[in-house]
Chains A and B, each alone.
Chain A
Amino acid sequence: MRHRSPDFWSGLVLAALGGYIVVQARGWDYLTEDGPGPGFFPLWYGIAILACSAYLVVFGTDSPSDWRGAGRAFATWAALAVAVAALKWVGFALGFAALTFFIVAVMYRRPPAVAALVALGVVAGFYLVFPLALGVALP
């Protein structure tokens, strides 16, 4: 299969979004007795998204993006997603401490003791500033 550029793939995803918006908007009133309905505005920007993304798919640049280091970003994002999803069960202290430990120890390759110390310090700082000083509840 021929190698496709990021513009091609992002254009396809946006075309799918545009298509979804148009299909949804067609299910709502376009015009009512009082004037434009809930489907009026979305239909037009949905069509515009479809048109622009089709342009990007066909005429987008071939230059590939620089994805060096993206693995580190995706790994951190995944850790953040897991930490946030787990907040409901483990609470802020444990979830956020684990996330901080991951960033310091795995992403920045600091010794586990340093990572644990930073995680503990950051969580303690949040407890001191938000619930205690500002009266803001933590998740």
Chain B
Amino acid sequence: MDIASGLMQGFAVALQPANLLWCFVGVLLGTVVGIMPGLGPPATIAMLLPLTAFMNPAGAMIMLAGIYYGAKYGGSTTSILLNVPGESASVVTCLDGYAMARKGRAGPALGIAAIASFIAGTVGVLGLMLVAPPLARFALAFSAPEYFGLMALGLAMVVLLAGRSMVKALLATLVGLWIAGVGTDLFTSTSRFTFGRMELLSGIDFVVVAIGIFAIGEVLANLEAREEPQLLPVPRGLRNLLPTMQDLRDCRFAFAQGSIIGFLVGVLPGAGSTIASFISYGVEKAFSRRREQFGTGVIEGVAAPEGANNSETGGALVPLLTLGIPGSGTTAILLAALVLWGFKPGPLFIAENPNLFWGLVASMYIGNVMLLILNLPLVPVFAQVLRAPVYVLYPLILGVSIVGIYASSGSLFDLLLLVGFGLLGYLMRKLDYPSAPLILGLVLGGAMERALRQSLMMSEGSLGILVSRPISAVMLCFALLILLIPFFSRVNTWRVRALEQKDL
């Protein structure tokens, strides 16, 4: 199927009234969770995942993707008005966005964030549409050794970029692999790590771990502070939100480079939207004629990172949908969602499910338009979300988590596991262990073990098969090089500096 007819088919799916509604619900929820500091898209998607089991998969995927990219629009609002990032991808927007708001230019800052998000978000979807089908065709040549190499490379990239300590990131990945191994071995029916509990024979549900670590862990971390941040006044009326023609002219390069950098970084496993926004901000500053003013309220300093973090979404969906390899915690949850609904993301996904893939692509074009409309004139309304008392919000998150888990399994034992993983998520934050590698290890653990064992069956036990095939050999070499980075002090210093900047 060529791209034009695929897209036509996609719009036929996305424009169905029910799917339009789910798209709207997704981007609306995404905007709200993006605005709320402390409640990110992975937690929201994980909480809603069990409830989507009752929905049509196309509508559910459209809604969850809407939350994913919608949150990136909303995140800028909190950065600009509170100097607190609504979600991690908007950290760098605080630098110039909040400075603009303090100078009385909150309106243009919010406006340019929405416009940059719209332009780059649309470019990201265009990239997804153009890159995903040929990549899927290329990946058809992959067999078990190549998949093992690809998953090893993906996990190594996540370990490289997820936290300051690569040892801690690696440990989190390995613990994820262990949790994935709990249950009955599908090759030999041997029970592994079940502690004699019948409930663990079928393994630990991914959703329990994801909600525990992201949602419960996040609530516990946020509960540490009692005081709430002060909100700057929000300008009312569309006219006060629109940037001037000069602002738009100043942001031309930011729109273009943010879109391209965001998409390219998104395709890399592990990099994510926070890194995309920092690289884009750095490039904008490096090429700007007024680089010394960055950080004091320069409008390009808002447009570049906001563009990059939205374009990254399209890029991140490429490896997820064509190779079945997620690059971040959020895309790992989207992968789990697809598996939950009975799909198998990978090279055949687009060919076997054209309605779902093209429907998702078309819905992202529509969703970006919805978000522009929602975020320009209605941003003062959304900002009121920040006035909602947290002592109402946190019990709501805990309640939705409990009900979500019970709805998916009907098991009180899973609720106890949820509480345990919530504590683990909180302790990981406190002890500086990144959570994304654990989630990725958990999602990829089963498939990775299967690919390794299938490879060794093909070679009658010889590990040589992993390095005798060119694609898997190259990927495993890269994975090994990445894991050896701590031994190259100059490269490691650069990595640590980059991640410290990311943490601000």
Contacts and interface: CB of A to CB of B under 8 A. Distances in A.
B429 to A, nearest CB: 10
B403 A65 contact: no
Contact of A69 (B225, B403, B419): B225
Q: Which of A46, A136, A137 has the most CB of B within 10 A?
A: A136
Contact of B432 (A53, A65, A67): A65
A139 B406 contact: yes
A29 B188 CA distance: 10
Interface stretch (B10-18, B308-316, B339-347, B452-460): B452-460
A72 B403 contact: no
Q: Which of B185, B394, B403, B406 has the most CB of A within 10 A?
A: B403
Contact of B192 (A42, A77, A88): A42
A56 B188 contact: no
Nearest to B398: A80
Contacts of B178: 17, 21, 42, 45-46, 49
B396 A122 contact: yes
Interface stretch (B122-130, B165-173, B252-260, B363-371): B165-173
Interface string B419-456: 10011001000111100000000000000110011001
B203 to A, nearest CB: 14
A61 B168 CA distance: 11
A106 B457 CA distance: 59
Contacts of A137: 406-407, 410
B171 A56 contact: yes
B185 A104 contact: no
Count class of interface residues, chain B: 35 or more
B453 A122 contact: no
Interface in A89-139: 92, 96, 99-100, 103-104, 107-110, 118-119, 122, 126, 130, 134, 136-139
Interface string A1-17: 00000110010001001
B224 A14 contact: no
B97 interface: no
Nearest to B420: A81
Nearest to B415: A84
B246 interface: no
Interface string B176-214: 011001000101101011000000000000000000000
B461 A31 contact: yes
Contacts of A119: 395
Nearest to B225: A69
Q: Which of A46, A65, A80, A108 has the most CB of B within 10 A?
A: A80
Interface in B199-255: 216, 219-221, 223-226
Nearest to B188: A38
Q: Which of A6, A65, A139 has the most CB of B within 10 A?
A: A139
Contact of A81 (B165, B167, B419): B419
B423 A77 contact: yes
B3 interface: no
B498 interface: no
A6 B431 CA distance: 7
Nearest to A82: B419
Interface string B32-44: 0000000000000
A136 B403 contact: yes
B430 A139 contact: no
A103 B394 contact: yes
Nearest to A5: B431
A110 B418 CA distance: 28
A37 B167 CA distance: 28
Contact of B402 (A61, A70, A72, A84): A84
Count class of interface residues, chain A: 35 or more
A56 B407 contact: no
Contacts of B131: none
B79 to A, nearest CB: 23
Given A42-B192, A104-B391, A108-B226, A48 B399 contact: no
A72 B224 contact: yes
Interface in A37-91: 37-38, 40-42, 45-46, 48-49, 52-53, 55-56, 61, 65, 67-70, 72-73, 76-77, 80-81, 84-85, 87-88
Contact of A67 (B51, B187, B190, B430): B430
Nearest to B423: A77
B419 A80 contact: yes
Contacts of A68: 224
Contact of A49 (B175, B399, B431, B432): B175
Contacts of A53: 171
Interface of B: 51, 54, 165, 167-168, 170-171, 174-175, 177-178, 181, 185, 187-188, 190, 192-193, 216, 219-221, 223-226, 389-392, 394-396, 398-399, 402-403, 406-407, 410, 412, 415-416, 418-419, 422-423, 426, 430-433, 448-449, 452-453, 456-457, 460-461
Interface of A: 6-7, 10, 14, 17, 21, 24, 28-29, 31-32, 34-38, 40-42, 45-46, 48-49, 52-53, 55-56, 61, 65, 67-70, 72-73, 76-77, 80-81, 84-85, 87-88, 92, 96, 99-100, 103-104, 107-110, 118-119, 122, 126, 130, 134, 136-139
Given A28-B192, A118-B392, 10 more contacts: A35-B453, A36-B457, A45-B178, A69-B225, A72-B223, A77-B419, A84-B412, A84-B418, A103-B391, A139-B402
